[in-house]
Amino acid sequence: MKNIRTCCNIKRTIFCLDKRVHYNPCPMPITDSFKLLRVEVCGGIASGKTTFAALLSDKRFNPLLEDFRSNPFWVAFYSDPGKYIFETEVSFTLQHYHQVKKESARGKINICDFSFLLDSAYANVGLQGSQLSTYLTVYEEIKRELSPPLLVIHLNCDAETELKRIRFRGRDIENPITLDFLNSLNLAVEKEVQKAAEETRVISVNSAQKNFADIDDIKEEILNLMTTILL
């Protein structure tokens, strides 16, 4: 494992795939106290999270892919978000927590196509008052038990591109999603990523411009970058 687990005296960098954004000292050492090594891929709806995680399916990495259809509330949520948002946000966060504990492979780096940062962003967009404070109590308890991720991959994608992808993939259940909601979620994600960057390495990839789904050269670029950083 190259430096990423023993970075007391090295520096933390937030990268863009094309250029470095900023560079400052790592505020905390990363040690072998990690119980399960994971990378979280974070971004808005249709930003490319599952595609990115699936790129890293080889012997060195273990993709952990969200089974959103197994969530008992997601269909009801899309039918009436205001009515079913609390149980949906809490249950997705707990589902991710359980999946990390149950399915993570020891001896490999687990690549999650979900992120607790995105869970928190959803909650901050949709919850308020006592529901938000109750959610945050659960969220903080999860953070206390799970080690922080080795790395957060922030897929930066504008809402217009996300909405085009949502319409193209043609899930009827996603028809109510609006441009305003995608913009609000992206802003909330950005805030969560900036906070996380105080203690976790973050790589920012413009997934609207970098077509790692279809272009082989960009796929290779992504794989080389991840191998250099993590192995």
Give counts: helices (H), strands (E), the chain: 8, 7
The confidence score (pLDDT) of residue 35 equals: 54
156 contacts 207 by C-beta, under 8 angstroms:
yes
Q: What is the average pLDDT value for the chain, to the nearest integer?
A: 85
Domain range summary for the chain, segments of one domain joined by +: 11-230
204 token code pair: 């920012």
194 token code pair: 């900036």
C-alpha 155, offset from chain centre:
8
How confident is the model over 123-136, as a mean pLDDT?
A: 97
**Dihedrals φ, ψ of 216, to 5°?**
-60, -40
CA distance 3 to 22: 19
| Model confidence, pTM | 0.84
How confident is the model over 208-223, as a mean pLDDT?
A: 93
Residue 154 has pLDDT above 90, yes or no: yes
66 contacts 113 by C-beta, under 8 angstroms:
yes
The confidence score (pLDDT) of residue 176 equals: 92
- How many other β-carbons are positioned within 10 Å of the β-carbon of residue 199? 12
CA distance 178 to 200: 31
Residues 72-119: pLDDT tens digits?
999 999 889 889 999 999 999 999 999 999 999 888 899 999 999 999
CA distance 196 to 177: 27
Contacts of 48 (CB under 8 A, 6+ apart): 155, 157, 207, 212, 213
The dihedral of CA 187, 192, 197, 200: what is its sign?
negative
Residues 39-53: pLDDT tens digits?
999 999 999 999 999
11-230 sits in which CATH class? alpha beta
